Amino acid sequence: MKKLIFCLTLVFSALPVLAQNPDITYPDDPQLAEEAKRKFAMSLDDMALERYREAANSLAWLLKNAPDLYEGLYINSYKAYEAIAEKETDQTKKMVYLDSMFTVYKLKDERFPLSDTEINNVAFRYYKFHKDNAEKYDEALKAFARAFEKPDEVINNNLVAYMDILKRSFIKNKNVSENEALDIHAKITEVIEDRIAKGKDVAKFEQYKSIIDQALTTIIDVNCDFIEQKLYPQLKENPSNVKLAKRIFQLSLTAKCSDSDFFTEAVEVVHKAEPTSGLAGIIGRRKLSSKEYPEAIKYLEEAISLEQDKAKKAETTLSLAKAYALSGEKVKARNEAIKAAELDQSVVEEAYNLIASMYMNSFDECKQNVSQVADRAIFFAAYDAYKKAGNTKGMESARAQFPTKTEIFELNLEEGASIKVGCWINVTSTIRTRPTE
């Protein structure tokens, strides 16, 4: 009872203000104007008390006789019809109320253009209420297409819903072409990728991405041959088509074609237009695997300069160290490996294993054939690096190459003393002997 009194008080206290509101336009006919005021008051009363069926009666009269009354007339009307539809158990009546709701949205758009939120709400309501109704799929797809005209305004609910309604339309109506499916998938993916890049709810958006990728495979047999035969030739003809390159990039990941030439070319096109650390890193690692070391180094250095995340920077820095090592620039390789280890603990093992391996493989390059101890000091440094990596097998491998006790004694050296390791290695280590002579 208290709730009823409160609602009535609220409604009627607001009526004088509403009646004088310049945004409210009553009919010119005095009798219609009076009736409109009465119906208006009744509709506000019934909406406040959630008597949606009664409110709909007044609102329907106002829509017919006072269509320019005010914007809220349409808002209350589509809300009332939706509320009635949700409670209706008779499917035929339910469809009538839903049709009325969508009609009101259209009528509002004619006089009071729909907001971005309303445009998105219309699309989602097609999915919510008509996802199992094949006769409504064309209308639904048009509503979603309109919502996606402003990607930044698309609500999260519509990301998966759009792709799902597309899939349902393909299955039931067979009216979706490959190009249409690819275009829509690309639009949704761009929105998701943008939100992932902003770093909020990443896990959720990654899941969305997986769902829409899976939905696409229901419509199209997305495999490496499809991409290479149908999409890649288009990119070859127009290598500046960033939109197509993004599509090839995304589909290649879905189809697991990231080791293909067309994937690399697509990434290069996208990166040239929209450089990012992630894309530069992908290109750099691809160049590394194809032994294009100068190009690999260039892109990996760019990726590091653009990266803000320490863990990712460490991984890329380690890749750069490998590129330098393979190109023969060992000092630079070691420096980058040490940087990577300092950036993130998770790469320490791999970084120092790389350094130790370079030391172990430098014996022939660095030996002077003057002193076994001086030449084999390189393995002291390797042992130290393996120890930092926590690699006991590597330590044993290096230790097996240490000089003998006799060789140490003959040079009047002491085990445990410091020794300068020469060549490019240029570090100080400790004299040790192999386990057995």
pLDDT at 437: 53
- Residue pLDDT, tens place only, 108-139: 999 999 999 999 999 999 999 999 999 999 99
Which of 113, 147, 178 finishes a domain? 113
Query: Cβ neighbours of residue 138 under 8 Å, at least 6 residues apart?
Result: 169, 173, 175
Residue 276 lies in a domain: no
pLDDT band at 10 (very low <50, low <70, confident <90, very high): very low
CA atoms within 13 A on the CB side of 64: 9
Question: Considering only CA atoms, which of 234, 267, 268, 235 is closest in space to residue 252?
Answer: 267
pLDDT at 57: 96
Tokens in use for 266? 């697509």
What total of structural domains would you count in the chain?
2
Q: Side chain identity at 358, as an amino acid letter?
A: M
pLDDT band at 314 (very low <50, low <70, confident <90, very high): very high
Residue 105 lies in a domain: yes
Crossing angle (nearest 10°) for helices 348-360 and 372-389:
170
pLDDT at 168 over 70: yes
pLDDT band at 199 (very low <50, low <70, confident <90, very high): confident
Map tokens 């499809």 to a residue: 226
Map tokens 């006072």 to a residue: 66
Mean pLDDT across the stretch 322-328? 96
pLDDT at 362 over 90: yes
Residue 91 lies in a domain: yes
Strand ranges, E, within 264-417: none
Q: Which domain holds residue 401?
A: 358-431
Residue 437 lies in a domain: no
pLDDT at 208: 95
- Give the whole-angstrom CA distance, residue 285 versus residue 178: 32
Residue 235 lies in a domain: no
pLDDT at 320: 97
Residue 309 lies in a domain: no
Which of 81, 97, 113 finishes a domain? 113
pLDDT at 71: 95
Residue 180 lies in a domain: no
pLDDT at 47 over 60: yes
Residue 9 lies in a domain: no
Question: Considering only CA atoms, which of 288, 286, 267 is closest in space to residue 276?
Answer: 267
pLDDT at 412: 87
pLDDT at 358: 97
Q: What are phi and psi of 388, to 5 degrees?
A: -65, -30
Kindly state the percentage of the chain with pLDDT values over 70. 95
Kindly state the percentage of the chain with pLDDT values over 90. 80
pLDDT band at 281 (very low <50, low <70, confident <90, very high): very high
Which of 113, 144, 161 finishes a domain? 113
Mean pLDDT across the stretch 249-254? 87
- Give the whole-angstrom CA distance, residue 288 versus residue 319: 8
Query: Cβ neighbours of residue 359 under 8 Å, at least 6 residues apart?
Result: 378, 379, 381, 382, 385, 425
CA dihedral 249, 255, 259, 264 (to 10 degrees): -10
What DSSP string runs through 340-369?
HHHH-GGGHHHHHHHHHHHHHTTHHHH--S
What is the three-state SS of 207-256? HHHHHHHHHHHHHCCCCHHHHHHHHHHHHHHCCCCHHHHHHHHHHHHHCC
pLDDT at 345: 95
pLDDT at 48 over 90: yes
Lowest average pLDDT, out of 69-83, 197-211, 382-396, goes to 197-211
According to DSSP, the residues that pair with 421 across neighbouring strands are 427
Chain-wide mean pLDDT for the chain? 92
